[in-house]
Chain A
Amino acid sequence: MRLELSAEDQAFREEMRGFFTTEVPQEIRSTVLEGRELSRDQIVTSQRILNAAGLAVPHWPVDDGGRDWTDLQRHIWHEEMQQAGVPAPLAFNASMIGPVLAQFATPEMKRRFLPATANLDIWWSQGFSEPDAGSDLAGLRTTAVRDGEDWVVNGQKTWTTLGQYGDWIFTLVRTDPEAKKQSGISMLLIDMTSPGLEVRPIELIDGGHEVNEVWFTDVRVPGENLVGEVNQGWTMAKFLLGNERVGVAPVGAVKRALARAKQLAGAQLDDPLTRARVAELENQLLALELTALRVVANSADGAPHPASSVLKLRGTELQQAVSELILDLAGPASLGARGAEDSDLPGWARRSAPTYLNLRKASIYGGSNEIQRQIIARTILGL
């Protein structure tokens, strides 16, 4: 057992910290650090800066623009990025479709899409969930029917995060209605400017517009936009969702939020109840961070560490708990809505309730926390 980082990893950490705190514009990082909403431009600008330095998609295969980093180095990269308030590379691009294309696409498709995906020249949306297919994704109904060289797509996707910005959408569609659930599904890449494709906003409880419905009415998709083989979409979906869970514990971001909560608390930090609540959260977060480190430090053989399923579950719970703390610190000042610019109430207090409400999603997406408990019970405890 050894406590310190190796000299090499320590140097790596300093290099990452140095880059993130100096190369990404302060104005973008302040937006993140103060919990304000990022614009599309800010997200694109930040990712292009990272990509130019080889820091946008380090977890991709080296041949496709990735870096040959250890799991620990990736962890450090991710944590330092979050701590510095640098927006993480767009997950739909960097963590979802990118790795899938790198793994399953033809060389031609890779050339066409991967560099643009890494550089956020294409903004991807995710088209998996449907109104009747959430955690039970295999029940999806959107169909793609072959018509000559093309596919014709009909159906509806939902919870399409930031779909209003999307250029392309990667979708799971049913290509064999006769086959049993998982086996009749394929993955299609669809240009969101295609005729018959419509994005409709969904207003959420936090008052924001973050997710959308995407409707497909006889949308024609060129046959070459099929990823991998017909009816093998489920394999790719599992691969993608497996990646999604890795690094999903937002330790760096939650640490930053808790540190900020202490700052915002001001005189309230003299209250023993508040102090105790902060100290308890800090300790729980420390245990989580150490678990994340244990997982990355000991997963050299490539197999995921069994404790990794703890990370999503506990990470999102703590993320929610910290947002709840900030909401309580704001107290009545939280009543001002996000956009009430003529209010005298401090901005952080006005954003505290929408953030708290918005983060209820964290224990639902990426495999709900009930799904995580099911994974632990079944695959780790053998129940």
Chain B
Amino acid sequence: MDFSLDDEQVALRDAVRSLVTKTYGDFEQRRRASAAEPGYDESLWRQLAEMGVLGLPFAEDDGGMGAGPVEVALVAAELGRVLAPEPFLASVVLAGGAVAAAGTADQRSELLGALASGERLLALAHEETVPVTASRSGEGWSLTGTKEPVLHGARADLLVVSAALPDGGTGLFLVEGTDAETDGYRTYDGGRAARVRLRDAPATALGEPGADQATTLAGVLAAARLAACHEALGGMEAALAATTAYLKSRKQFGVTLNTFQALNFRAADMYVSLELTRSIVDWATMVLATGDPARAGEASARAALQTSRAGRHIGQEAIQLHGGIAMTAEYLVGNITAHLTVLDHLLGDGRQHLGTLMTGVGDYEALDPLDPTMRSTSSQ
């Protein structure tokens, strides 16, 4: 058991940190980027591509860097720390993850290479308001229904769409952005999402045509959920750091706020939440790296439940301890809280994960992170 990073991982983290801090170290720049279309800094996106970050998790044969969940985690955390609005999670982890997991060799090398180089932006459309169904259409497929919210759906060149198959099950399809009716909007955290209407939209099956990809999709979502947890960790860490600095500098009643024990104790509890979350999220990332989908799915739900609780605790307290300034759009902390709220609801929220986890509690004695089965057996 080892929670530390190796030298290459530290180098990756430092490189990404330096790059994103140059762009978003001043929060005003993030405000400007998210105010303008497409909602992020396209030159930073190109630089991330040049650094290899956009191809990080993909196999080298597919045009990627062949790195794993830990490297993805490091990038997500650094983006979260400065609240970078770049579509790393949406495009690389979610859409790219789906192509990597379900695509044929040709699809993988074509699409992932283009994604990694920053040439094409991919988005995954999986949440829906009108169920999307797939039907066979000549040699290919056509899709009908409405997906929303689709992260970066309006800017995306290519959509990866989940749809009900005619014979049951869930298929994954590729739809050109130009073949869908997309209405993009700003989400409340300054991000971008879209309603994507598909009316007999021409589609290509991702991977084997007609195959049920529900399990594959679940695996992609589990991996993305963990990346979202790391993004949240970066945000929570930044929120705590900002709060601590504020308590030491802001004066009320003629003294700095850290003169008041009640406030310091609340900051201490934020630290407790942060460290507990880091432990379980890092652990779940290691579980994901073992490549066992069932264990990864559960570990990801466990990490997400803890992250949901901590994100709300830290986000809410960060605003309260700052006072009114944190309510303003121009100040970092309130925006972090808004983004933590988005991350919480993006891939199943705490309530939903708890609902999943509680069904099984009677089936085992205790959890044991050191056991390969994640369950302990009786030692009585």
Contact = CB atoms under 8 A, between A and B. Distances in A.
A, B in one complex: yes
Interface of A: 1-5, 9, 13, 17, 20-21, 29-30, 33, 72, 80, 83-85, 255-256, 258-259, 262, 269, 272, 275-276, 278-280, 282-291, 293-294, 297-298, 307, 310, 313-314, 370, 372-374, 376-378, 380-383
B366 A383 contact: no
Contacts of A4: 1, 372
A281 B21 CA distance: 38
B359 A72 contact: no
B11 interface: no
Interface string B21-41: 000000000000000000000
13 contacts: A1-B4, A1-B286, A2-B2, A4-B372, A9-B1, A13-B370, A17-B379, A278-B361, A286-B369, A290-B369, A291-B275, A291-B279, A307-B279
Contacts of A9: 1
A81 B317 CA distance: 38
Given A3-B287, A30-B380, A83-B376, 16 more contacts: A17-B379, A83-B379, A255-B366, A275-B359, A276-B358, A286-B369, A290-B279, A293-B1, A294-B278, A297-B1, A310-B271, A373-B269, A381-B268, A382-B244, A383-B248, A383-B258
A310 B275 contact: yes
Contacts of B240: 381
B280 A286 contact: yes
Contacts of B268: 372-374, 376-377, 381
B346 interface: no
A80 B286 CA distance: 23
A354 to B, nearest CB: 23
B372 to A, nearest CB: 8
Q: Is the interface of A mostly helix, strand, loop or mixed?
A: helix
Contacts of B379: 17, 20-21, 80, 83-85
Interface of B: 1-5, 70, 240, 244, 247-248, 258, 261, 264-265, 267-269, 271-272, 275-280, 282-283, 285-287, 289-290, 302, 305-306, 354-355, 357-359, 361-362, 365-367, 369-370, 372, 376, 379-380
A29 B354 CA distance: 33
Contacts of A290: 279-280, 282-283, 369
Most buried by A among B258, B289, B370: B370
A282 B367 contact: yes
Contact of A383 (B1, B264, B275, B357): B264
Contacts of B367: 255, 282, 285-286, 289
Contact of A370 (B265, B279, B280): B265
Contacts of A275: 358-359, 361-362
B318 to A, nearest CB: 13
The 10 closest A-B pairs by CB, nearest first: A377-B264, A290-B279, A279-B358, A3-B286, A376-B268, A373-B268, A275-B358, A287-B276, A291-B279, A259-B366
A290 B284 CA distance: 10
Contacts of A84: 379-380
A381 B271 contact: yes
Contacts of A287: 276-277, 279-280, 306
A383 B286 CA distance: 33
Contact of A3 (B290, B306, B355, B357): B290
A3 B1 CA distance: 5
Q: Is the interface of B mostly helix, strand, loop or mixed?
A: helix
Nearest to B290: A3
A344 to B, nearest CB: 25
A11 to B, nearest CB: 13
B361 A5 contact: no
Contacts of B366: 255-256, 258-259, 282
A370 B265 CA distance: 8
Contact of A377 (B1, B5, B267): B267
B217 to A, nearest CB: 24
B3 A298 contact: yes
A5 B3 contact: no
B376 A297 contact: no
Contacts of B302: 283, 286
B6 to A, nearest CB: 8
Contacts of B290: 3
Contacts of B2: 1-2, 297-298
B293 to A, nearest CB: 15
Contacts of B275: 291, 307, 310
Contact of A255 (B248, B272, B361, B376): B376
A89 to B, nearest CB: 18
A284 B280 CA distance: 9
Given A286-B369, A310-B276, A278 B358 contact: yes
B147 to A, nearest CB: 31
A84 B126 CA distance: 46
A258 B365 CA distance: 9
Contacts of A373: 264-265, 268-269
Most buried by A among B267, B268, B355, B367: B268
Contact of A293 (B248, B277, B278, B369): B369
Nearest to B258: A383
Contacts of B370: 5, 13, 293
B264 A374 contact: yes
A2 B9 CA distance: 13
A33 B378 CA distance: 12
Nearest to A313: B272
Given A283-B302, A383-B258, A383-B264, A272 B244 contact: no
B368 to A, nearest CB: 8
Contacts of B248: 382-383
A7 to B, nearest CB: 12
Contacts of A5: 1, 370
A261 B139 CA distance: 59
Contacts of B286: 1-3
